[in-house]
Amino acid sequence: MSDPAESPATGDDRSPPSAQRAIDVRTPLIGIESVGPVVQLQFARLGLHSVGDLLKHIPIRYEVEAAEGGTTEVTHAAAATDQPITRSVRGEIQKVRHIPGRRPRIEAVLADENGTVRLVWFNTPWLARRIHPGVRGIAKGRAKLRGGYLEMTNPQWTALLDGEDCPQRAGRLRPIYSASEELSTVRIEGVIARVLTGALAGVHDLVREEVLVRRGLVKLADAYKMIHAPNDVLDAERGRVRLAFDELLALQLAMEMRRWQVRHTMRAPQLPMSGAIEARILGRIPFTLTCDQLRVCHEIANDLAQATPMNRLLQGDVGSGKTAVAVYALLNAVAHGAQAVMLAPTEILAEQHLEVISTMLDTSRVRVCGLRGGMRVADRSVVLQGLASGGFDIAVGTHALLGPDVGFKNLALAVIDEQHRFGVEQRAILRTKGPHSAQVPHTLVMTATPIPRTLALSLFGDLDISSLRGRLPGRTAPTTRVVETSQSHEVYAWLRTRVEQGEQAFVVVPAIDEGARGLKDVASHATSLAAGALRGCRIGQIHGRMTARESDEVIKAFRAGTLDVLVATVVVEVGVDIPNATVMVIEHAEQFGLAQLHQLRGRVGRGGKAGTCILVGDATTEIARARLDAIASSTDGFEIAELDLALRGPGEFFGSRQSGLPPLRVADLSRDLQLLHDAHAEAQAWIGSTGDLTDPRDHLLRKKVLALYGAALGLSDIG
């Protein structure tokens, strides 16, 4: 793997040159030529302690080194053309003048053995401290003759310390490292160059040779060399690709290990579906399931019949009918005399699910309870007792259901709605709530934010995935229009006509409080609408900082039709179902993520009438424009997720897992897609043949995967 510190040390057969001590990846930096206690501390502050750390400190980019020349030579070259020429000149600063004024400038004279060049910097006060007579360095920039005198304007300045060699690399690539004020990239480069050859002798591959050959990858030691001292850009890229592969392979091995461990070490109650049970369940659902829904139900039923715990992600657009699928699974557990829970990310949603499920089970013997944060002590203890004794079959609630005092008689299934609010940790807690320590509940995680295929593999590779892609009968996607802020009064005039026809509207703003970066906030916007464009309409407000009871009342009033317009933050993004709401206006639309906008607009047009979504926003950049256009022209959440990934990169999605997965340092999922697939295939084959990486040859690799991902993925060291 890409961790030289994990590699076995060099054998003793390689005796070091007499004057120098042998270097390997564990060698501390102190004592390396030119690294004294002060410099060592400077390295330590960048998190670099050993030679191995230096190897892993890979350049953030490369610069093509301009041809370096003496002042005489550069003067001749400049005289031969009218155009400025890019060159580097190294020498010593002789004189410095600071010229104040509206455009303050620094003028310095740099001298080498043969002549001088004038350096001029405009508006660069920070350089003032660094440019003094006697300082040595390299000036790189566009050189030209001015009045017969060689001059460079705003050159790049690299100071050279006494005795520091900075190799000339004319026409070559110079690695640029993440550095600090006190420790420049050039100095880091110098130290790395000094230890590189020695250090590489101790770097061994943890990836088997056959894999490297199959994937056309270079050896790890070669990769480090190509990265730190590349001959050309292709070299640097080949080195990077190798490290990226190792990183992705570790991630995929971790996912596959997780899968393997779940399958081989965990047991879950078997809940086989029969024709009779299914008929009873379908009879409870007040509509006919679509083919799509049935297909997904059967995928789930198949999992539930196994003795290994289900670990499945169900993704489907807003309004694709995931709840009915959840009910199908919950009732199957109950049919086997077991308990099931449904977790929602907010109180509002939990209430809504509770109501839907209770209504479906109205006349049945299934006993359903709700558990919420702010319950009265007496009510809460009734629920807790019922869950512990088996008096309740189904519990619906928020994360309150994960509390340490909540125990179950025989919990067989947990459905977690809107995955992005629940991470791996929550699932780990759920696992402890099974009937006894040897049995864990099945889990079904549902999300309305489809995860692009690439990311599904890298972030949720330990889950099986089901997708609901079809639209429910009679549903049309809301029409979406993009409107500039200057037209917003027309938007509200139109909204008013819809309200007058008895329809309801959401107005979404980005801020709760006034003054947040000049964005509209709930209270002020509601007040200004009430006094202006929407005078006479009944306007409510809702945001995430209200208590559960307050927001509950607002939602109830809106549902009952005693409010016409609800000014809200993104709290309405998740799941809120108001059939009569047909219009959504989103202010500052450019502030929201594409997937989020898509989620939001899914809140309208859920009844019989078609919905309309108006995005009010001023796109100031090309990308912002492209994003708003994309959301207006596509209604497919899966397509939008892919677009969001392409336009914004995977950062968002990574954050959203909330699992503490360490970030990728080298690999970049927007360009290393194929590499990810390669790593996935290798990891699958690898775990398939060695089980849990238990082959002694994989000992170091296993240690490394566990160190990186063990905690985040709940991998246990059972090998």
Chain residues binding ligand ADP by CB under 6 A are: 287-290, 293, 316, 318-324, 448, 472-473, 577
Kindly tell me which of 191 and 318 has the beta carbon lying closer to ligand ADP: 318
Phi-psi region of 588 (alpha: psi -120 to 50; beta: other; left: phi over 0): left
Task: Residue 315: name its binding partner from Mg ion, ligand ADP, none (Cβ under 5 to 8 Å by kind).
Answer: none
| SS3 (DSSP) at 259 | helix
- Tell me which DSSP letter residue 521 carries: B
Q: Which does 289 bind (CB under 5 to 8 A by kind): Mg ion, ligand ADP, none?
A: ligand ADP
Residues at the contact surface with Mg ion, assessed by CB under 5 A:
575
318 binds, among Mg ion, ligand ADP, none (CB under 5 to 8 A by kind): ligand ADP
Q: Which is nearer to ligand ADP, 577 or 678 (CB)?
A: 577
Residue 651: CA count within 13 A, CB half-sphere = 4
In contact, 570 and 597? CB cutoff 8 Å: no
Residue 693's identity, in one-letter code, is L
d(CA 456, CA 447): 12
CB atoms within 10 A of CB 505: 26
**CB of 417 vs Mg ion, minimal distance in Å:** 6
Nearer to ligand ADP, 320 or 596 (CB): 320
Name the minimum Å distance from CB 286 to ligand ADP: 7
Q: What phi and psi, each to the nearest 5 degrees, are found at residue 149? A: -115, 135
8 Å CB contact between 243 and 2: yes
Tell the smallest beta-carbon distance from residue 341 to ligand ADP (Å). Answer: 17
Measured from the CB of residue 342, what is the shortest distance to ligand ADP in angstroms?
A: 11
Say what angle helices 673-690 and 233-265 make with each other, to 10 degrees: 40
In angstroms, what is the minimal distance from the CB of 444 to ligand ADP?
13
Q: Which is nearer to ligand ADP, 298 or 336 (CB)?
A: 298
Which of ligand ADP, Mg ion, none does 23 bind, CB closer than 5 to 8 A by kind? none
Nearer to ligand ADP, 289 or 406 (CB): 289
Closest C-alpha to 131, from 148, 112, 106: 106
- Report, in Å, the least distance between residue 336 CB and ligand ADP: 24
The least distance separating ligand ADP from the CB of residue 416, rounded to whole angstroms, comes to 13
Phi-psi label, residue 580: left if phi above 0, alpha if psi -120 to 50, beta otherwise: alpha
Cβ of residue 415: shortest distance to ligand ADP, in angstroms? 11
Q: Pick between residue 324 and residue 526 the one whose CB is nearest to ligand ADP.
A: 324
- From the list Mg ion, ligand ADP, none, partner contacted by residue 155 (C-beta under 5 to 8 A by kind): none
**Closest CB to Mg ion among 345 and 575?**
575
User: Which residue lies nearest Mg ion, judged by its C-beta?
Assistant: 575
- List the single partner that 122 binds among Mg ion, ligand ADP, none, CB under 5 to 8 Å by kind: none
Query: Which is nearer to ligand ADP, 357 or 565 (by Cβ)?
Result: 357
In order, the DSSP letters of 346-357 are SHHHHHHHHHHH
* Residue 324 interaction partner, one of Mg ion, ligand ADP, none, beta carbon < 5-8 Å per kind: ligand ADP
Tell me how far apart the alpha carbons of residues 663 and 667 are, in angstroms, rounded to a whole number. Answer: 10
Q: Name the DSSP letter for residue 1.
A: -
Structural tokens at position 346: 């907010």
Q: Following DSSP, what letter does each residue of 275-316 receive, concatenated?
A: HHHHHHHHHHSSSPPPHHHHHHHHHHHHHHTSSSPPEEEEEE
Query: Quick one: 219 or 471, whose CB is closer to ligand ADP?
Result: 471
- Rounded least distance, CB 635 to Mg ion, Å: 18
Q: Which does 424 bind (CB under 5 to 8 A by kind): ligand ADP, Mg ion, none?
A: none
Q: Could you say which of Mg ion, ligand ADP, none residue 287 binds, taking C-beta under 5 to 8 angstroms by partner kind?
A: ligand ADP
Nearest CB to Mg ion, comparing residues 57 and 372: 372
Q: How far is the CB of 573 from Mg ion (least distance, A)?
A: 11
Name residue 373's amino acid.
G
Integer angstrom CA distances of residue 63 from 59, 84, 153, 235, 709: 10, 19, 19, 14, 34
> Tokens 């292709």 — which residue?
234
| Residue with Cβ nearer ligand ADP (166 or 326) | 326
**Through-space distance between the first and last CA atoms of the chain, rounded to whole angstroms:** 19
- Nearer to ligand ADP by Cβ, of 323 and 346: the residue is 323
CA distances from 218 to 53, 200, 380, 671, 687 (A): 21, 14, 61, 19, 23
Rank residues 448 and 537 by Cβ distance to Mg ion and give the closer one: 448
Helices (H) and strands (E) in the chain, counts: 24, 21
The one-letter amino acid code at 562 reads T
Minimal distance, residue 351 CB to ligand ADP, in Å: 13
SS3 state of residue 417:
strand
CA distance 119 to 153: 6
Least Cα distance to 484 among 615, 600, 585, 584 occurs for: 615
Would you say how long the chain is, in residues?
719
Smallest separation (angstroms) from Mg ion to the CB of 368 = 17
Residue 443: contacted member of Mg ion, ligand ADP, none (CB under 5 to 8 Å, by partner type):
none
236 is written with which tokens? 């640097």
Q: Report residue 197 as tokens.
A: 């050859």
Residue whose CB is less far from Mg ion, 116 or 635 = 635
Report yes or no: 583 and 505 within 8 Å, Cβ to Cβ: yes
Task: Return the C-alpha torsion angle 629, 635, 640, 641, nearest 10.
Answer: 160
Give the shortest CB-600-to-ligand ADP separation in angstroms. Answer: 12
* Least distance CB 329 / ligand ADP (angstroms): 13
Q: Which residues contact 636 (CB under 8 A, 6 or more apart)?
A: 317
